[in-house]
Amino acid sequence: MESLISRMQAVQSPIIPVVAELIQSCPGTISLGQGVVSYSPPPEAIELLPKFLAEPTNHLYKAVEGISPLQTALAAKLQDFNGIEINEENCIVVTAGSNMAFMNAVLAITSVGDEVILNTPYYFNHEMAITMAGCRPVVVKCDENYQLRPEAIASAITPKTQAVVTISPNNPTGAVYSEQALQQVNQICHDRGIYHISDEAYEYFTYNGVKHISPGAFAGSSKYTISLYSLSKAYGFASWRIGYMVIPKHLLVPVKKVQDTILICPPVISQYAALGALQAKDDYLKNHIAAIAQVRQVVLDSLNSLQDLCTIAPADGAFYFFLKVHTQVDSFELVKRLIREHQVAVIPGTSFGMDDGCYLRVAYGALQKQTAKEGIERLVRGLQKICKVH
């Protein structure tokens, strides 16, 4: 029987539910853990739901790659915001969130034993998906500011490498990669005949005038670039499970095989909500992201008092800061103590592949300004107290 579960034994346990259980055992804990936003979906998303209910055939299976009106709306959004033109070389597949899109991509382009390059710190679900598929994640360290190192990525490519994964704006670090670095990585993938998987779930969340760049918009990149998107973050409906991917046209058949097997079709009710969300007024995103930017500043102001205790890298995107804590305490042990003794929760860096020190991911998107201020003050006091002892 042991051999039957060996595939999953190699996969790390998802950290968010583990931390959620710790939070439940300590009532009153403020969570700086999960990466979600505090605001609700736009009214346009909810207003489209009666239209879904009014059509009886909407309760039946629909196209594996998504309903036609949503495909059309996404093509327009990709052109306007990302600079990606949908043409004869690429296509859109609507998915149940961008985690599903990543799994689709990995299963479509790899065989058991293949390699996929991740940049550390990586997003834990990416590492889990690659391992689950029977492939090997090859990790390449980012620099001290969590920026890409294209030469190191090129050096890590072997005959078994099928893809390089980049996430910008980044989870867990909040770093935004430069156009030059993304172009270098995209060119390396072209030259070596492998795929560039670009996760852009946080595309709207950039600050200080920093601009989001989509590698899928680079000239000639359509045939080997896979772009992943999510509506969970920007439109405040994480539980609706809706995202999409832009893939080379030659991957459509394998991706549809994966999606039809796991999902059949993306939830049609969520596709209607997505269609409505894409019609939201510009102020919806602008105002909510401006509010998150204010929370971000409150968090940063408090974190700056930890400069003797932590290294705080620049983070112009997403809604995370990634701290390197100068302590001998194990990061998961530190997380447990922060919850138990100071009623504040963060995520340990080990989940993101950082085992050469003590790292913590701090998420601030889900909190109103006052709660974030209290939460971050608890974190600062807790780190000062726990790490001072050691």
Question: How many CB atoms sit inside 10 A of residue 105's CB?
Answer: 30
12-16, 26-30, 77-81, 373-377: range with lowest mean pLDDT: 12-16
Are domains 2-41+282-389 and 43-277 of this chain identical in fold?
Answer: no
Give residue-wise pLDDT tens across range 321-372. Answer: 999 999 999 999 999 999 999 999 999 999 999 999 999 999 999 989 999 9
Residue 220: closest CA among 328, 85, 43: 85
- Please state which of the four CATH numbers 3.30.70.100, 3.90.700.10, 3.90.1150.10, 2.60.120.260 is assigned to the domain occupying 2-41+282-389: 3.90.1150.10
| Extents of the domains making up the chain | 2-41+282-389, 43-277
> 142-159 pLDDT, tens per residue?
999 999 999 999 999 999
The mean of the pLDDT values for the chain is 95
* pLDDT score recorded for residue 99: 97
Residue 216 pLDDT grade (very low, low, confident, very high; cuts 50, 70, 90): very high
Confidence band of 388 (pLDDT split at 50, 70, 90): confident
pLDDT at 13 (0 to 100): 87
- Classified by CATH at the fold level, domain 43-277 comes out as Aspartate Aminotransferase; domain 2 (3.40.640)
Query: Is this structure's pTM higher than 0.75?
Result: yes
pLDDT of 2 reads 56
Q: Please state the rounded mean pLDDT for residues 90-103.
A: 98
Work out the average pLDDT over 261-267: 97
Task: Please report the pLDDT score of residue 7 as a whole number.
Answer: 82
Q: 169, 175 in Cβ contact below 8 A?
A: yes
Q: What is the DSSP letter of 256?
A: H
pLDDT digit string (tens) for 121-135?
999 999 999 999 999
User: What does the alpha-carbon distance between residue 127 and residue 138 come to, in Å, rounded to a whole number?
Assistant: 9
3-state DSSP helix/strand/coil % of the chain, to nearest 5: 45, 15, 35
Other beta carbons less than 10 A from residue 291's beta carbon: 15
Question: CB under 8 Å to 103, separation ≥6 — which residues?
Answer: 129, 132, 133, 258, 262
Q: Would you say residue 4 has pLDDT above 70?
A: no
HSE of 16, CA atoms in CB hemisphere, 13 A: 10
Pairing type for strands 225-230 and 30-31 reads unpaired
Map tokens 């690659």 to a residue. Answer: 130
For residue 80, is pLDDT > 90?
yes
**1 pLDDT more than 80:** no
CA neighbor of 345 nearest in space, from 14, 11, 34, 1: 34
Task: List all residues 6 or more positions away from 329 whose beta carbon is below 8 Å from its beta carbon.
Answer: 337, 358, 386, 387, 390
Average pLDDT of the segment spanning 109-117: 98
Instruction: List, for residues 280-305, the tens digit of each pLDDT value.
Output: 999 999 999 999 999 999 999 999 99
Vertex 300 angle, CA 28 and 365, to 5°: 55
